[in-house]
Amino acid sequence: MDTLIHVSNVSKRYDSDGAFAVADVSFDVRVGEAVAIMGPSGSGKSTILNLVAGLDRPTSGTVTVAGQRIDSLGETGLAKFRRRQVGMIFQFFNLLDDLTVADNVMLPAQLAGLPKARARRQADDLLERLKISNHRQAYPARLSGGERQRVAIARALVNSPDILLADEPTGALDTATGEEIGRLLRELNGSGQTMIMVTHNPELAARYANRLITISDGKVAADSGAPSAEGSPVSSAAVRS
Ligand SMILES: Nc1ncnc2c1ncn2[C@@H]1O[C@H](COP(=O)(O)OP(=O)(O)O)[C@@H](O)[C@H]1O
Ligand SMILES: [Mg+2]
C-alpha cells in the first residue's frame, strides 16, 4: 500500500532553551489507514498532529505528505498545503459563529479558489452526506455538540483532503454522541478517507481505528503497526496494554 505520511525523526521544542514537546518521533501512515493516537495529557499528541497538518514546523526531522516535504515549505506553500491536503477537526469544533452552517462549510472551498456556486454545491453534498442539511441555514450556536461536530467534519472534507486529522473529536460530547461521531469517522474511513485521530477514549480507539500509536513523554511508546489485510479494528486488549 502507498505511504501517505512519512514522519522521520521529528523533534519539536517551542522554546530554544525549553524541553522537547516531541522527541525523535517516526511513523508512516498508509493511504486508507485510520490511526488512533493515545497518551497522557501533555505528552505531545496535539503537537504531532499540528506538525502533520503543517500548522507548525519541526525543530528537526522531516515530515513528508503525499510525496512533498512540508517541513521545509515556506509560509505560502504551507498555507496552500493546509487548504488542499488536510482537513482538521477539534474538540470544540472551531466553527465561525457569525456564519451559517452552509457558509462555514463553503469557506475553505472558496479560500481554495473554487467559484461560489461550486463551493456551495460541494458544501450541500457534504451536509447531505453527514445528515445535517436540514440545518444548513442555521447558526452554529443553535446546534447541539454532535451537530456542530458534523458541520466541522463537513468543513474539513470540503476540499477533498488526503488526510483528515481529528484532535479529541469527541472530547466535548456525551458518550452516545461521541459514539455516533466515531461511527461517522469509521464510515468515512470505510469509503477511503485516511485519518489520524487523537483520543482519550480507549473504546473509541478500539472500535473506530485500525491502528494505535501510544505517545508518552513526546516519544512513540507503542505502535500496533500495519492493519491486517481486512483492516480489522485493533483489539481492546491492544488498546489497554
Ligand atoms: N504553543 C506552545 N508553546 C509552548 N509550549 C507548548 C505549546 N503547545 C504545547 N506546548 C507544550 O508541549 C508539550 C506537549 O503538548 P501537546 O502537544 O499539547 O500535548 P497533548 O496534546 O498530548 O496534551 C506540553 O508540555 C505543552 O505544555
Ligand atoms: Mg492535545
Q: What is the pLDDT of residues 134-175, one digit of tens each?
A: 999 999 999 999 999 999 999 999 999 999 999 999 999 999
The ligand with the least distance to the CA atom of 50 is 1
CA of 23 to the centre of ligand 1 (A): 12
CA of 128 to the centre of ligand 1 (A): 36
CA of 2 to the centre of ligand 1 (A): 31
Cβ of residue 210 lying under 6 Å from some atom of ligand 1? no
From the list 238, 184, 168, the residue with the least C-alpha distance to 210 is 238
Q: Give the angle 175-177-178 at the CA atoms, nearest 5°.
A: 60
Cβ of residue 14 lying under 6 Å from some atom of ligand 1? yes
* Per-residue pLDDT at 1: 57
Q: Which domains does the chain have, with CATH numbers?
A: 3-240 (3.40.50.300)
Helices (H), 67-223: 75-85, 101-111, 116-129, 145-157, 175-190, 202-208
pTM for this one?
A: 0.92
From the list 149, 139, 105, the residue with the least C-alpha distance to 123 is 105
Q: What is the mean pLDDT of each run of 10 residues along the chain (241 residues)?
A: 92 95 97 97 97 96 96 93 94 96 97 94 96 97 97 97 97 94 95 96 92 97 68 48 41
Per-residue burial over 155-191, b if 16 or more Cβ lie within 10 Å, else e, is bbbbbebbbbbbbbbbebbeeebbbbbbebbbebbee
Encode 184-226 in three state secondary structure: HHHHHHHCCCEEEEECCCHHHHHHHCCEEEEEECCEEEEECCC
* Per-residue pLDDT at 237: 47
Do residues 110 and 123 make contact, with C-beta atoms less than 8 angstroms apart? no
* Per-residue pLDDT at 232: 47
Cβ of residue 216 lying under 6 Å from some atom of ligand 1? no
* Per-residue pLDDT at 225: 83
Q: Give the angle 72-76-77 at the CA atoms, nearest 5°.
A: 45
Cβ of residue 46 lying under 6 Å from some atom of ligand 1? yes
CA of 166 to the centre of ligand 1 (A): 16
CA of 214 to the centre of ligand 1 (A): 16
CA 118 to CA 121: how far, in whole Å?
5
Instruction: Give the ligand 1 atom nearest the CA of 198.
Output: 21
